[in-house]
Amino acid sequence: MISLLVLNGPNLNLLGQRQPEVYGTTTLAQIEALCVSSAQGLGAKATCMQSNHEGVMIDTIHEARGTHDGIVLNAGAYTHTSIALMDAISSAEVPMVEVHLSNIHAREEFRHTSHISRVAIGQICGFGPQGYVMAIDAMLEHLKARA
């Protein structure tokens, strides 16, 4: 069975409470349940994790090597600042789809730059929680094409 890691970064633990006008009212627990259900419906397994700490996220990405077939990553603000996350993804050699709840390209200028997109197979943004479902589907199609 294909195994996916769904990794969420800083402040996403506050979804449903934090800036609902930007991120909506869906909680992280609801998004994680959606990811698990969506993956199961497509014959895969999704393991979800969230951290506010860059080092923990890097360790989790490293541990994905040999454990998971793909990563769905919402790195939150680290998307725009973390070369270390980009290097971790590249080093782990596990394909990754970048996902964001909001359209980062329609927001503040500094959010338009994504360091992790350089090592992603694709980026999905602006579709709210449904973006995670789209990312899981895209990752599974990518993995099937490589098989």
What is the mean pLDDT of the segment spanning 111-138?
94
Residue 127: CATH number of its domain: 3.40.50.9100
Q: Could you report how far apart the first and last alpha carbons of the chain are, in Å?
A: 13
Can you tell me whether residue 120 is helix, strand or coil? coil
Average pLDDT value for the chain: 93
**Is there a catalytic annotation at residue 23?**
yes
Of 68, 78, 100, 132, which residue is the catalytic one?
A: 100
Total domains in the chain come to 1
Of 23, 68, 78, 115, which residue is the catalytic one?
A: 23
Q: Round to whole Å and give the CA distance between 16 and 24.
A: 6
Has this prediction a pTM greater than 0.85? yes
Q: For residue 99, which phi and psi values (nearest 5 degrees)?
A: -135, 145
Residues of the domain holding 25: 2-146
